[in-house]
Amino acid sequence: DWRVRPLVSVVKEWAKRKGINDANRSSFTSYSLVLMVIHYLQCGTEPGVLPSLQQMFPRRFANKCDVRTLNVTLPLDTPAVSEWHYADKSTLGELLIGFLDYYANKFESYSTHSFFSYDRDAISVRLGKRIDRAVIARQRPNGGYQQSGTHWRSQWRCICIEEPFTYSNTAHSIYDEMVFDAIKTAFREAHQELDSTRDLQRLLNCKPISVNAPMGGYVAVALCKL
């Protein structure tokens, strides 16, 4: 779908300007942002925009394969019409607003009534759906289960984004609760801004997030490059 690449580009540019695209500062890696966009396009639109490649082409994208040896230049087999239900016709702008809305308002921490709970669920583009984070956190890359291991469990803190082949959490860099709260606020404010103004330049003309610090001060997470 031609809309995927520009949507990813805009999301990454916005995240960079907001200072939430830097794993060294307890925020997202670019890879995590890409997986978030793919997940939204799988689960956040009706009908969906993208399928799960692992589900549709299990032999080609099996979890046991080495991603370094995948030949991405080989064309995929055309799925049967009965298997293709991905016909969303939203504009690129509508998808961007929907992406921000999805992560700003459809996910709620500590809520049993939310569409998605950051505390309960993990994002899985491999399965094309949300899944209980406890299940993902116990899985080994070979499909077995890991019942213990402090290092492994420590990866699953604020937000869980499953790496499709290794089952690790690509968002394990987000370990600071105050930074994560600021990130969620950034999504809510960005959605409100774009939904009301429909002005992309205004959305990108932003300041980096600030995190409350002890003694009533604050810390700017990154410098905004305009």
Q: What is the pLDDT of residues 71-112, one digit of tens each?
A: 777 788 777 766 677 777 899 999 999 999 999 998 764 444
Q: What is the mean pLDDT of residues 176-192?
A: 95
Domain assignment present for residue 215? The answer is: no
In the structure, what pLDDT confidence band is assigned to residue 40 with cuts at 50, 70 and 90?
very high
Domain assignment present for residue 114? The answer is: yes
Pick the residue with more confidence: 84 or 202? 202
Decide if pLDDT at 176 tops 80.
Answer: yes
Decide if pLDDT at 146 tops 60.
Answer: no
- The predicted pLDDT at position 153 comes to 54
Domain assignment present for residue 216? The answer is: no
In the structure, what pLDDT confidence band is assigned to residue 141 with cuts at 50, 70 and 90?
low
- The predicted pLDDT at position 63 comes to 65
The domain that holds 115 is classified in CATH as 1.10.1410.10
Closest to 166 in 3D by CA, of 129, 133, 126, 135: 126
Which contacts qualify for 138-146: CB closer than 8 Å, 24 or more apart?
Answer: 139/167, 140/167, 141/63, 141/64, 141/165, 141/166, 141/167, 142/63, 142/64, 143/63, 143/64
Q: Which two tokens stand for residue 112?
A: 């049993």
Question: What is the C-alpha separation between 89 and 102, in angstroms, rounded?
Answer: 17
Total count of domains within the chain: 1
Domain assignment present for residue 223? The answer is: no
- Say whether 204 sits in a helix, a strand or coil: helix
Decide if pLDDT at 161 tops 70.
Answer: yes
Contact 174, 28 (CB under 8 A): yes
Domain assignment present for residue 218? The answer is: no
Range of the domain at 200: 3-64+84-205
- The predicted pLDDT at position 181 comes to 93
Domain assignment present for residue 75? The answer is: no
Domain assignment present for residue 146? The answer is: yes
Q: How many CB atoms are closer than 10 A to CB 160?
A: 26
pTM for the structure as a whole: 0.84
- Say whether 155 sits in a helix, a strand or coil: coil
Report in angstroms the alpha-carbon separations of 175 from 85, 160, 206. Answer: 37, 11, 24
Domain assignment present for residue 213? The answer is: no
Q: What is the mean pLDDT of residues 114-130?
A: 85
The residue type at 29: T
